[in-house]
Chain A
Amino acid sequence: MTRSRVALLLVLAGALLAAVAVTGFVSARPADLPAAGAPSPATTLDRLIYDAQDTLRREPGNAPKWALLGAAYVERARISADPSYYAKADGALRTSMRIAPDDNASALIGLGQLANARHDFVTAASFGERARALQPATPEVYGVLADAYTQLGKPAEATDAVQRMLDIRPGLAAFTRASYDLELHGRRDEARAALERALTAALSPDDVAFCRYYLGELAWNAGDVDGAATQYRAGLAVAAQNVALLQGTAKVAYAQGRADEALAAYQTITTRVPLPQYVLEYAEMLAATGHAGEAKAQFAVLAAQEQLYTAQGSNDDQVGAIVAADHGDKAEALTRARAEWDRRQSVFSADALAWGLHANGRDAQALEYAQRAAALGGPNATYSFHRGMILAGMGRRAEARAALAEALAVNPHFNPLQAPVARTTIASLEQGS
């Protein structure tokens, strides 16, 4: 790919993304396919936002309406993957707080949701606790707390929050969080059951898509390619342009030996929504299929994005640390992994730090964190792979082989570059070389 093509791609991505931001994914449903539910959420959310703005033009002192608008922007950002709404949300929520600084639980909940979305989990937990003190019977309070405590590495507090949410308002928002909590604790069957209940409580195509995607992910992460494909397909039947579901089918295509189809899909996905996760997966898939030049171009896109995030003061170092460890500056990987760990001691940041230490040859220390990453008990092929490579680096051959075999047993398709590495490493460990 040439430099001009990259630039063109980026401009194109901007235009498409803007289009997505404006329209949502509404128009995507084929006319002959029924939806499982009611009016498109994008439309409903559009109306909500439009109306709140309309009211606020007449009544700029309406604090609850500002809170509502702010929270609607956060939800819009989540659904559309368009974070430009975060700044708008921030403005609306702070206006609400300025007008009504006391007893404004609605604004506090919105601010908590926003902080979670921005990866600032400590702040989110703090807003959540303030909101809980004011309105302990409001389910959204516990959504904020569950999300924050999960990411902060406080599993007991997270589980408590999810259980409380379930006991106040057993529904979509609670069941989806219950599923994640169960999955993290390795209780996959129950996690699936919880998501199936979430699915029956989902109404909008986006909500149905969310449930189908994570049902697919549960299957995928257990190596069940066909099961995953079924779920992704079922989701696309109601939300044909949902990017997460397209990513799911792309992974499936690759696992089923249709690499060209997978690469074409990833090109579309990364053009439409250039989230780092998607760009990284695309780059790795390109690299794994011998498209070294194009892979390099995608890594360059990723690096450019990283610069921007840093410039904008983003404090999400977790993905950056892993990317740097695998494809970039090893010292930077460790610095960033350490920074993430200092902020939150979760299984996620433990894994990143383990991998950052390993990249710098500090396997003995790395192992400690790799074991912490496995603490909750949920099987995770990537974490097992990391642990296996660390053990291999320490010369603990049998354990290394076991961990790598576990990674492949959990999901033989967990990563297009690393799954082959796991296999060759096992072979070399067995040959004693």
Chain B
Amino acid sequence: MIIAGSTLAATALALLPGTASASSHREAPLIAADPYVDNTDVYAFVSPDKPDTVTLIANWFGLQEPNGGPNFYPWATDAHYDINIDSDGDAKPDTTYRYEFFTDNTRQKDTFLYANGPVTSLDDENLLFRQYWRLTKIHKGKSELIAKGQAAPSNAGAASIPDYSKLRKQATYPVGKGAQTYVGQSEDPFFLDLRVFDLLYGGNLKETGQDTLAGFNVNAIALQVPISDIALNYDGKKNPVVGIWSDTERRSLKLSPGAAKPNGDYVQVSRLGNPLVNEVVLPVSLKDAFNGLTPDKDATIPAVVKRVTSPEVPKLVEKLYGIPAPKEPRNDLVEIFLTGIAKKAPTLDGKPAPIQADLNSQVLNSDANPKKFQPSEMLRLNTAVPPTAKPNRLGVLANDFQGFPNGRRLTDDVVDITLQAAEGAAQSGKIVQALAAGDGVNANDKKFGDKFPYIALPNNNSVNTAANTQGSSALPFVPGGTGTGLPTPSILTGLLAVMMLGAGGVLIARRRPTVVPVGA
């Protein structure tokens, strides 16, 4: 055969998109996002039905689409999923609850199936992929195995899992005396319109009002422990304040030759205390550094501190909406994010604390040594504030002191609270009316339970089906709630975790499993 001067071929090839590349080298994945170990949210509240206990909920691996199965979302088996408690305020964990997982997929044999029939119990033979956890309590330098159990599986659809509540019940285990834990899938309890910051920047908040996380699931660890278990000197009366954050460590790998074992150290890859820190406080350039940082180092990084004392959001709001930004340095935000709220909160510049209330700083603990206090970003909870019968979504801003930023309940509207706090509402005691509608999403699309683990059962319908998208439209007083609840591609902005704030180039990214190249 003859190819005429290859001109014809060249012409045809010129039409091919494939011809510009002759890549002769290996191209590995470029994106370093790691949803399996990515913290999404932390909740901490005095249990409404057991007020002598605290419930801690940490979520990972957001944006799980139920999709009617076949997708499932395992826990990483080379990771530490940690919930940390700092009861004396030195920014180091006094107690760590560490969950580690292992997988039993021997029943899968040659298939890749998750289940091969209805799964009606945790030990149902149809459940082919099983994960088990062990819970270690690390306290005063000692590690103690305190519980073992099986994780509830991913909700692979109504045909595979006809009754998830039964599995969840079985996957709820007692832990020692007076404590219990649940590990498994959950509906994502976080409710917000992820576009809020994008739209805020665009100068148009009218389009908000959709719970962009409606329909998605997360992997959840819920732990309920007696207050005395985590209080300083086991005394919740004298020392009612605890700091809480979650972090995840994945095991590294050593390349240097000669090591008997190729595995390296466990490395912190994700952390989460207060909500929205990644979205509102940190710029993209600090996000990776912050996720590897332990809280005791927070205040030693000037760039982090500056994002709290001189935040971006109020400046933008001033520019776009004409609402004057509060005066800096913002020691009210230092109290909310870094020290806890107290009349004598140890602000970084030594000036008097602007929020004159004794609420939730560890310096309020009688046995804490204020000299050892170290400002750090964590969720702080005063366990002495009793549960309210009717929680207000605006928490402390509405004089409901059991709510965020005193810990975080499932129903707390942290977006609206944070937005108002950024505008100085915690200090002034006044809601900024122009932004009162916030993101227009005031409650979760699914109802929370009144008993442990309180979170809703995982969704089992595809995100875009009506069953999962009542969203905010079902709620009253939602400005701009359009009622369709169907995420359009543009709504997925937020889902894809990219929000932009400010011409200064503040990229804020919700810590969600996403395709986020280049450290966004």
Contacts and interface: CB of A to CB of B under 8 A. Distances in A.
The answer to whether A and B assemble together is yes
Interface of A: 1-3, 6-7, 10-11, 13-14, 17-18, 21, 33-39, 41, 44-45, 47-48, 50-52, 54-55, 58-59, 61-65, 67-68, 71-72, 74-75, 77-78, 81-84, 86-87, 100, 103-107, 109-110, 113, 116-119, 134-135, 137-141, 143, 147, 151, 159, 162-163, 165-178, 180-182, 185, 187, 190, 193-194, 197, 200-201, 203, 207, 210, 214, 234, 237-238, 273-277, 293, 296-297, 300-301, 303-305, 307-309, 312, 314, 316, 318-320, 348
B129 to A, nearest CB: 9
- Classify chain B: how many residues form its interface, as a range: 35 or more
Given A39-B71, A166-B255, A238-B112, A10 B9 contact: yes
A75 B518 CA distance: 11
A109 B518 contact: yes
Contact of A17 (B17, B25, B267): B17
Interface stretch (B144-152, B163-171, B234-242, B495-503): B495-503
Contacts, number: 337
A77 B21 CA distance: 10
Q: Which 4 pairs, one residue from A and one from B, show the smallest C-beta to C-beta distance?
A: A71-B517, A34-B70, A83-B21, A10-B12
Given A37-B71, A47-B489, A297-B3, A72 B515 contact: yes
Contacts of A203: 35-36, 513
B23 A135 contact: no
**Majority secondary structure of chain B interface residues (helix, strand, loop or mixed):** loop
A169 B10 contact: no
A86 B20 contact: yes
Given A86-B21, A166-B252, A301-B9, A59 B201 contact: yes
B286 to A, nearest CB: 8
Contacts of A175: 253
B21 A81 contact: yes
B201 A316 contact: no
A176 B29 contact: yes
B109 to A, nearest CB: 13
A50 B518 CA distance: 17
Nearest to B500: A62
Contacts of A36: 112
Given A48-B496, A168-B288, A275-B18, A3 B520 contact: no
A37 B495 CA distance: 17
Given A10-B16, A55-B498, A316-B22, 16 more contacts: A17-B18, A37-B71, A68-B520, A75-B517, A83-B21, A113-B30, A117-B23, A139-B32, A147-B27, A168-B288, A170-B253, A176-B29, A181-B255, A277-B24, A304-B9, A305-B22
B490 A51 contact: yes
A271 to B, nearest CB: 11
| Residue of A71, A74, A134 with most partner-chain B CB within 10 A | A71
A167 B519 contact: no
Given A59-B500, A166-B255, A147 B28 contact: yes
B8 interface: yes
Contacts of B269: 168-171
B490 A11 contact: no
Given A135-B519, A190-B262, A51 B489 contact: yes
A384 to B, nearest CB: 19
Nearest to A104: B505
24 contacts: A11-B12, A33-B112, A34-B113, A41-B515, A55-B498, A64-B284, A67-B520, A68-B520, A84-B20, A104-B505, A138-B289, A139-B32, A147-B25, A169-B250, A173-B31, A174-B32, A180-B26, A203-B35, A274-B16, A301-B3, A305-B22, A309-B20, A318-B24, A320-B22
